[in-house]
A and B are shown apart, each in its own frame.
Chain A
């Protein structure tokens, strides 16, 4: 919750620019990128995601470090990924 999950932006929704599809550990889901409207992410950018919202842009090396950290949480990371998998944000 407080800990962000890194995701790579795959596509930005053309009709709803506040939505983007991200890939997180092989799971592709829509998230909201409205909080980055000052500097919107483009495909290929990495973002830190908190409860379905991208809160900051990060670089790929940092994404790997963050993933390393959160994957180290074990079960709670699995739970977070499972929750993300069930998520259907519109």
Chain B
């Protein structure tokens, strides 16, 4: 009972679990997707599924920024970094994401200079300090990091820094959710909405899920009790025949989001017609590019890139995991050929990835044991 040790809220958790169980209709199966990798982490770490009745299944969504970067974009980044006088920067999580010929560390061993930074503003500082080099920031992430890239672009322009550009890979969560809703692979009953992304975009963008697809959404915090509470709210909605967007995380997420952040994104970036997501394929209007006014800061316009689509390794099933069709441990290479030390797929690279979370907390062994014993009973 980890709740006792870590949150001393076992009573509340059990109380919520009992309320959840009482709301489940007998014989009905419920599938709820937690969109955000942070939620996946909490679910595995605290064994949330052990508190739920067997007929509620939690399905992990695509909300891990590193996981959805396709191999071809890693190759493109390495190609840019290989150009003369280029110094590339990116977030630490990006360094171990495999491209077709290796990751950024492998590339650095071959002579590129790709550095980890904490913030895009650190990249801008590196550009100021290295006027004879061109600094390219490989920007990745959902709406939690997009505004920081936007603010950095505005700052670069204000200061007139000319040896700085952005290789923009920012993605946006709503089209990915829509792609999953339109996919025939999965029938979902509701969504646990992402917490921190919603601090930027607010709750309104989820209204189509309730309105057009008739599925409830509850934007959730990251504590174990937040997630149980959100599942409870989803079930209450289903019981009452309602489909609405509710904000369980109102203590952090304003309904309208962060309007300054949305404004600076719109000022510097526009939607691409389409973008490839690892595992999910090409999704319309699902990623950002720099606006024409910022062409001088757009690495994609400054450097010629191969832009080749590279298929994932055959053994890797990250795509199915990202769509929620497979559980991490159902992938053939999970925990054997693919581990956090030697990841084959992106879901094992990032701590927000479902496979890494599963692996780190040993949930796979428990699930397997449970299923194995269920088989024995049959």
Binding site for B on A (CB under 8 A): 1-4, 31-32, 34-38, 48, 50-53, 55-56, 58-59, 62, 65-66, 68-69, 72-76, 79-80, 83-84, 86-90
Chain A residues touching B, majority SS = mixed
Give Cα A72 to B45, complex, Å: 9
Distance (whole angstroms) from the CB of A54 to the closest CB of chain B: 10
Contact at A69–B148, with CB atoms within 8 Å? no
Within 8 Å by CB of A53, from B151, B196, B360, lies: B151
Are the C-beta atoms of B351 and A73 separated by less than 8 Å?
yes
Residues of A within 8 A of B37 (CB): 2
> Nearest Cβ distance between residue A25 and chain B, in whole angstroms?
14
Residues A53 and B38 in contact, CB atoms below 8 Å apart:
no
Interface size class of B (residues with CB under 8 A): 35 or more
The 5 closest A-B pairs by CB, nearest first: A52-B119, A76-B351, A83-B118, A87-B118, A53-B148
Contact B260 A34 (CB under 8 A): yes
Task: Give Cα A73–Cα B44 distance, bound, in whole angstroms.
Answer: 11
A83: nearest chain-B partner, CB-CB: B118
Q: How far is the CA of A72 from the CA of B200 in the complex (A)?
A: 24
Enumerate chain B interface residues (CB-CB to A < 8 A).
Answer: 6, 36-38, 41-42, 45, 63-66, 91-93, 116-122, 124-125, 128, 140-142, 144-145, 147-148, 151, 194, 196-197, 199-200, 221-223, 251-254, 258-261, 264, 351-352, 360
State A84–B121 Cα separation when bound (angstroms). 12
Residues in B neighbouring A48, C-beta threshold 8 A: 196, 199, 252
B38/A83 in contact, CB under 8 A:
no
Residues of chain A lying within 8 A (CB to CB) of residue B258:
35-36, 55-56
Cβ–Cβ contact B352 & A35, under 8 A:
no
Most buried by B among A2, A37, A50, A52: A2
Contact A55 B197 (CB under 8 A): no
Known contacts A58-B251, A76-B351; A69/B145 CB under 8 A? no
- The residues of A that contact B45 with a CB separation of less than 8 Å are 72
Inter-subunit contact B222/A90 (CB<8 Å): no
CB neighbours of B122 from chain A (8 A): 52, 86-89
Chain B, Cβ-Cβ closest to A89: B121
User: Whole-angstrom distance from the CB of A65 to the nearest CB of chain B?
Assistant: 6
Is A37 touching B118 in the complex (CB atoms < 8 A)?
no
Do A2 and B260 have beta carbons less than 8 Å apart?
Answer: no
The answer to whether A2 and B63 touch (CB under 8 A), given A48-B196, A52-B121, A66-B222, is yes
| Cβ–Cβ < 8 Å partners of A74 in chain B | 360
Output the residue of B124, B142, B196 with the most chain A CB within 10 A. B196
Contact B148 A50 (CB under 8 A): yes
A35 with B121: CB separation less than 8 A: no
Given known A53-B148, A55-B147, A83-B116, contact A1–B141 (CB-CB < 8 A): yes
